[in-house]
């Protein structure tokens, strides 16, 4: 079951002070389950992405029944790891 799990950069703005901030947030919907949100570092590096895959994502999936994640595809898309 393919799932859309791309990180997104979402703008936050406030016109009263005239500044804009950005943050990387990852979240996913898997059937009846919401995974995340997880705030990623502003600058995603190979190391921080590896930490996300090995520690954060596996922790999110620990709470999901095995039947729901069997056959799950994780598409690494839209990430530049510099």
The predicted pLDDT at position 34 comes to 87
- Evaluate the CA torsion angle 34, 61, 63, 38 in order and state its sign: negative
The predicted pLDDT at position 24 comes to 82
Q: What are the start-end ranges of the H helices in 15-82? A: 46-51, 58-62, 66-69
pTM value?
Answer: 0.61
Total number of residues shown for the chain: 82
And the tokens for 58?
């596996």
Q: What gap in Å lies between CA 45 and CA 41, rounded to an integer?
A: 8
End-to-end CA distance of the chain: 29
From first to last of the 82 residues of the chain, give the pLDDT tens digit.
555 555 555 555 555 556 666 778 888 888 888 888 898 888 888 898 899 999 999 998 898 888 888 888 877 776 565 5
The predicted pLDDT at position 79 comes to 59
Q: What gap in Å lies between CA 67 and CA 50, rounded to an integer?
A: 25
Q: How many CB atoms lie within 10 A of CB 57?
A: 18
């Amino acid at each position: 079951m393919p799932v859309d799990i791309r990180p997104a950069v979402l703008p936050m703005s406030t016109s009263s002070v005239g500044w804009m901030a950005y943050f990387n947030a990852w979240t996913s919907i898997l059937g009846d389950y919401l995974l995340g949100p997880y705030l990623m570092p502003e600058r995603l590096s190979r190391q921080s992405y590896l930490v996300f895959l090995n520690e954060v994502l596996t922790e999110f999936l620990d709470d999901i029944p095995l039947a729901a994640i069997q056959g799950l595809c994780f598409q690494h898309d839209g990430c530049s790891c510099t």
